[in-house]
Chains A and B, each alone.
Chain A
């Protein structure tokens, strides 16, 4: 009896004597398959669900330099053993912020019968009954899948509105074979992807589960190395290049005036809720491999307020500038997501306080009186003086600044740094709008975000 593993045992000899089996595919057809795979890899651009390739004015992006320990990213030659693996979703679903209810199968139909090969362009039809969708252009339709006891969606897959006729709205998308999840890439052939959206009355509606031929897992070209209790997230990315339109612009006009891409720190859910505070360094898009360290905060300041990256899955998201067009005086461009790196900070990450803001006095105030504003517990990784550039202190009255931003801004004197790392500034108040109680708010400087901190309300007499 042979119990030791011997590659030259009778089985090994018999295996090696196998002659080439007859294969149905001719080599000529096979090379066309290679070209097809290559095209699918090049055009596997994922567009952030909330960003359209529309013309927007370019503003200078102020970035904070975050230096890694070795003084910058380093180039590493990719060797066969360092081919970046693609992570397949694990059975346990990491917690995400805001799990959606499972959509009922209604009102959405896919025009192409299954099975659907990955990267095939398909149409989706939306009917308006029984649950109405008034804004068919801006209401987000997404590729969704089961998560925990509900559903979530891949925020990077773009589904675009095309037209409507006879009460039916038409959409198109390139159906992915694999979706981005908080646990990494997952195959639609395994996790039962579908198309879904939220109707005006809050009901989730969707297609049946789609029969998708997922194909080979795509290479994400990124890998999380570590997410430490100090908030530093280290990851690698490899092979990313600038968009051709940016390259033409940089060569013809000015490479420094428009960044080739940027990096955001976001909470990963069915939509990307990105941090307003930490502006990570621009990604180096030179097709080489880079190791990047980003110093994040435990709490991200998002459109949904402060969210904890110990409790929920967050992600480093890399964007690339695309569709650059320019003429004298103006430049327009869009963005597309090129990489996600999900992470969670460990439970040992120190608790982070939310910033607070107080004002004195709050009684008997008249217009042009000067009050003293004190801000404490500002998050780390941001130069305190930059607060003024981020958004500044405004005098506001609206309950929810995400909906109505009615803040007015006064010229402020320089912030004074306090021994406890707080900031203090003198602020001249004006009459509150419509004689309502008002407050001072430290704003994030980004539309759709709540304030970072606000004072108690006070009244100001004319």
Chain B
């Protein structure tokens, strides 16, 4: 949605995909919901200004990413779905092997993979989002790809000698 009439319309359209994105980054559904709700609360406070932008949804998305990256690795201690054990795949989840493999990554690598592959970030943009040097961001991506390739049995993506 490019020009929602109200913030609520934007919320109804974007909430679920944003929670999915934040879940992939943070590894925790309830933390992801908290992040997305916080992002919309901030949008609500500034809506008069944000609704003038060409793509208000993009503003909310960037805030979600920024907050999710900041909270990656931190786990809420209420009744939340825990980060799934990498050794156990939930057969009911879509592509459970992929989700389990993602969940097994360290938080920075997981965030880097999600931003690069799903959000289309360049390695420089990944570095900026994670607040790390570009070389570190590339290293996160390489290691994450290698780990995922091994877990998902994609031999052509495993570096020689590994």
Chain A contacts to B: CB under 8 angstroms: 1-3, 5, 7, 9-12, 14-25, 27, 30-31, 33-38, 40-41, 77-78, 80-81, 83, 85-86, 88, 115, 117, 187, 189, 211, 213, 215-217, 219, 239
Contacts of A34 in B (CB 8 A): 11, 37, 40-41, 44
Kindly state the separation between the CA atoms of A41 and B156 in the bound complex, as whole angstroms. Answer: 49
Q: Interface residues of B, CB < 8 Å — how many?
A: 62
A-B residue pairs in contact (CB < 8 Å), sample of 6: A3-B142, A23-B20, A23-B33, A30-B11, A34-B40, A216-B35
The answer to whether the Cβ of B120 comes within 8 Å of any Cβ in the partner chain is yes
User: Do A216 and B23 have beta carbons less than 8 Å apart?
Assistant: no
Contacts of A219 in B (CB 8 A): 42
Contacts of B123 in A (CB 8 A): 5
User: Do A83 and B63 have beta carbons less than 8 Å apart?
Assistant: yes
Kindly state the separation between the CA atoms of A126 and B142 in the bound complex, as whole angstroms. Answer: 55
In the complex with contacts A11-B157, A15-B118, A213-B95 CB distance below 8 A: no
In the complex with contacts A2-B156, A34-B37, A219-B42, A7-B16 CB distance below 8 A: no
Q: Which of A24, A27, A38 contacts B15 (CB 8 A)?
A: A27
Chain B contacts to A: CB under 8 angstroms: 8, 11-12, 15-17, 19-20, 23, 29, 33-38, 40-42, 44-46, 49, 58-59, 62-63, 66-67, 70-71, 74, 76-78, 81, 92-95, 98-99, 113-114, 116-118, 120, 123, 138, 141-142, 145, 148-149, 152, 154, 156-160
In the complex with contacts A20-B17, A37-B37, A216-B67 CB distance below 8 A: yes
In the complex with contacts A30-B15, A115-B77, A216-B38, A10-B154 CB distance below 8 A: yes
In the complex with contacts A16-B117, A27-B16, A189-B74 CB distance below 8 A: yes
Report A1 CB to chain B, min CB distance, Å. 5
Q: Which of B35, B58, B116 contacts A5 (CB 8 A)?
A: B116
Q: Which of A11, A17, A22, A37 contacts B145 (CB 8 A)?
A: A11
Kindly state the separation between the CA atoms of A215 and B31 in the bound complex, as whole angstroms. Answer: 8
User: Do A24 and B138 have beta carbons less than 8 Å apart?
Assistant: no
User: Do B63 and A80 have beta carbons less than 8 Å apart?
Assistant: yes
Residue in A closest to B149 when the chains form the complex, CB atoms: A11
Contacts of A38 in B (CB 8 A): 41, 44-45
Contacts of B44 in A (CB 8 A): 34, 38
Contacts of A30 in B (CB 8 A): 11, 15, 19, 33, 36-37
Q: Which of B63, B77, B93, B138 contacts A211 (CB 8 A)?
A: B77
Kindly state the separation between the CA atoms of A277 and B95 in the bound complex, as whole angstroms. Answer: 65
Contacts of A37 in B (CB 8 A): 37-38, 40-41
Kindly state the separation between the CA atoms of A117 and B40 in the bound complex, as whole angstroms. Answer: 20
Contacts of B114 in A (CB 8 A): 15
Contacts of A115 in B (CB 8 A): 77-78
Kindly state the separation between the CA atoms of A293 and B70 in the bound complex, as whole angstroms. Answer: 29
User: Do A27 and B12 have beta carbons less than 8 Å apart?
Assistant: yes
User: Do B11 and A239 have beta carbons less than 8 Å apart?
Assistant: no
Report B107 CB to chain A, min CB distance, Å. 14
Contacts of B71 in A (CB 8 A): 216-217
Residue in B closest to A3 when the chains form the complex, CB atoms: B159
Report A407 CB to chain B, min CB distance, Å. 49
Contacts of B142 in A (CB 8 A): 3, 5
Report A12 CB to chain B, min CB distance, Å. 4
User: Do A7 and B120 have beta carbons less than 8 Å apart?
Assistant: yes
Report A76 CB to chain B, min CB distance, Å. 12
Contacts of A17 in B (CB 8 A): 95
